[in-house]
Amino acid sequence: MTALELYKFVTSNKREYHWNEEDVLLFISIYDIKEFNEMLGASVLDEAGIVCNMKDGYFVFRMNDICEYFGIELLDVFTKS
């Protein structure tokens, strides 16, 4: 996954996210989770997988570790305004 791919994924359907100190919480609808999973690729999920919180109708991911794995700076994708 590249910063541009992630940026397009976040902005294309105005996916909700919030800054939490030095991390970003990304909220992904259950309808969009397959697309996000495909962007990550199987190798990310091979070992321990990715920790997330499942809520009613969406998943919440802490993006710092995910972005770090792919060499993506959080500020390249997520604005702080």
Distance from C-alpha of 81 to C-alpha of 78, rounded to nearest angstrom? 9
Per-residue pLDDT of the chain (81 residues; tens, 9 = 90+): 999 999 999 999 899 999 998 999 999 999 999 999 999 887 776 777 788 899 999 999 999 989 999 999 999 999 987
Domain ranges, ordered by start, for the chain: 3-74
Amino acid in the structure at residue 53: N
69: phi > 0 → left, psi -120 to 50 → alpha, else beta; which?
A: alpha
